[in-house]
Amino acid sequence: MIKPFIGTAIVLMLAGCASTAVLPPEDSLARWGTPDPDVSAQIISEMPLVRDEFRAVWVATVDNIDWPSKPGLSSEEQQKEMIALLDRAESLNLNAIVLQIRPTADALYRSSLEPWSYYLTGENGKAPSPAYDPLSLAVQEAHSRGIELHVWFNPYRAYHPTAPDSLSEGHISRKFPDAVHRYGAQMWMDPGSPEATQHTLKVIMDVVNRYDIDGVHLDDYFYPYPVSDADGVQVEFPDSVFFAAHGTGLSRADWRRRNVDDLIHQIYLQIKNRKPWVLFGISPFGIWKPGYPAQVKGFDAFENLYADAKRWLNEGWVDYYTPQLYWALSSTGQPYGALLDWWIEENTRGRHIWPGNFTSRIILQDASHWEFPEIIDQVKHTRATGGATGNVHFSMRALAPSDSPLSEALSADLYSEKAIIPASTWLPGNYPAKPALAVRHLADRSYLAMLPGNQTEVRTWIVRIKESGSWHTEFIPAWSHATPLKLHPNAEVVVLQSVTRLGRKSEPAVLTAKN
């Protein structure tokens, strides 16, 4: 059950500690009042709009791509880096972080099911010291900034060569050795193993149950990308034992796709059974099959990763889709725009489409390098495409420098104002009632006092203030209880909306200053 957010009496979170609040005498409130309906309607029609847009960034932990900067930092250094990362996201007006917490059957959070990650402490199974829980920190700090925290799991990868080949007793390769195979330079859980599948489901649901996360996210790694031997011959993934035991009546390719389908469907069902408001998203390889749409060429994820990403979207087994459209707008074989249009056409259940952008190409070299306007143009193209309502950038490393041309361009234009994450209207939940709004005085200053209109949880307050003829907009995270919002003496109008964690907005409440 979601606990409703009921602010401290008059949400004097905006004025400091409610216990010290002193309500003003009647005459000090006489300047403000609720206008009649016609005036309110006119004001609402004139106020600035707030964009509904998902603005997210992947924070990769494998190989210490984004966080922490290297294995074995002190707990204090790790926490400082996380705070700096979230401060940077806030300064860019991003509204979601997709944090990789399980890169290789390990944990960058406190877990009784899998060992602490090498990428955190420099040793698989070694806990941070002094002890702390990185995911608890990330959730709390993200929410206090009005940023959603989505957790990113790799469902099948068990080992990556950027970590030493020494795995603790708690690692899945020790628990279920028959279900973990070395394939090329990596190790993979066998998707055909019922034990491995149930273990992954248990790991994901453990996090859903214990943390106030906003989303669960999988990327494009299902069956591994094909590996070839020294002679260039593709090596078969070694799953013959499980195929013989469980693949009756199916080709091996169809059986493999069924294994992945079953995992995706079960993740969605179990999340919705436990916490319906937690979103489930996938970022599949950007091409389902070559020829879809007709001009598209390239890697076949359907045949090589056994990922029927089209089906998962058609069936509605997700809340959002982030196809990795890692090609340029001008590409002929993998055109960003045509691929985006194709995924939108396949979105028959009306889920969110938030394409993934290879933003890190701006910091790559030689033939892999893009100039930053390519990313700007891709975001603009997404905005102009009906059916797509946001972007996810890979990865934080590309957005971290405050003086990069891309960051400056985003801050100056596309992301110059904050945005609300689009509403997930197919999920259960109520719309918030019109909130209560008043002006209160404390220590000779005027503050806004806000209360939810009903028991529906509020996650964000949208406050629009008109003063000296000009409007400005503030977002107040309802997670935070200590953000002062003072009213300028020249304030003329205040408009307040409350927003739920699923993006549903209340009717606006309006106050006007009397002459």
Give the separation between CA 13 and CA 19, rounded to whole angstroms.
Answer: 10
pLDDT tens by residue, 134-166: 999 999 999 999 999 999 999 999 999 999 878
> Is pLDDT of 17 > 90?
no
| Model confidence band, residue 3 (pLDDT cutoffs 50, 70, 90) | very low
Task: Map out the domains of the chain as residue ranges.
Answer: 18-50+427-513, 52-416
What pLDDT does 60 receive?
98
SS3 of 109-139: the string is: CCCCCCCECHHHHCCCCCCCCCCCCHHHHHH
Tell me how far apart the alpha carbons of residues 345 and 152 are, in angstroms, rounded to a whole number: 26
Whether the per-residue pLDDT at 2 is higher than 90: the answer is no
471 DSSP β-pair partners: 466
Confidence grade of residue 414 (pLDDT, cut at 50, 70, 90)? very high
At 45, which amino acid appears? S
Please give the mean pLDDT across all residues of the chain. 92
pLDDT at 30: 60
Sign (positive or negative) of CA dihedral 203, 208, 209, 213: positive
The DSSP secondary structure of 226-288, one letter per residue, reads: PEE-TTSPEEPPS-HHHHHHH-TTS-HHHHHHHHHHHHHHHHHHHHHHH-TTSEEEE--BS-S
Domain 52-416 in CATH 3.20.20.80:
yes
- pLDDT band with cut points at 50, 70 and 90 for residue 346: very high
Query: Per-residue pLDDT tens for 96-139?
Result: 999 999 999 999 999 999 999 999 999 999 999 999 999 999 99
What's 507's DSSP letter? P
The whole-number average pLDDT for the span 343-362 is 98
Mean of pLDDT values over 182-210? 97
On the question of pLDDT at 359 being above 60, the answer is yes
2 against 493, higher pLDDT: 493
Query: At 374, is the secondary structure helix, strand, or coil?
Result: helix
For residue 358, the SS3 value is: coil
Q: Which CA distances in Å does 173 have to 121, 144, 197? A: 20, 38, 13
Helix (H, G, I), strand (E, B) or coil at 477: strand
Whether residue 478 contacts residue 45, with contact meaning beta carbons closer than 8 Å, is answered with no
In this predicted structure, the answer to whether residue 350 has a pLDDT above a threshold of 50 is: yes
The pLDDT score that the predictor gives to residue 484 is 60
Please give the pLDDT value at position 448. 84
The percentage of the chain sitting over the pLDDT mark of 90, rounded to a whole number, equals 85
Distance CA 26, CA 210 (A): 47
Give 19-77 pLDDT, tens digit per residue: 333 334 433 446 788 999 999 999 999 999 999 999 999 999 999 999 999 999 999 99
Cβ count within 10 A of residue 209: 9
Instruction: Please give the average per-residue pLDDT across 232-237, as a whole number.
Output: 96
- pLDDT, residue 483, reads 57
Query: pLDDT tens-digit profile of 469-505?
Result: 999 999 999 876 555 677 888 899 999 999 999 999 9
Encoded amino acid at 257, one letter: R
In contact, 472 and 5? CB cutoff 8 Å = no
Identify whether the C-beta of residue 191 lies closer than 8 Å to the C-beta of residue 260: yes
**Residue 10 above 50 pLDDT?**
no
pLDDT at residue 480 in the model: 62
DSSP class per residue in 165-190: S---TTSHHHHSGGGEEEETTEEEE-
Residue 23 neighbours by CB under 8 Å, 6+ apart: 440
Say yes or no: do domains 18-50+427-513 and 52-416 share a fold: no
9 vs 148, residue with greater confidence? 148
Mean per-residue pLDDT, 346-372: 97
Structure tokens, 79: 């926490």
pLDDT higher than threshold 50 for residue 224: yes
Look at domain 18-50+427-513 and name its CATH class. Answer: mainly beta
Whether the per-residue pLDDT at 433 is higher than 50: the answer is yes
Q: Which helix (H) or strand (E) holds 439?
A: strand 436-442
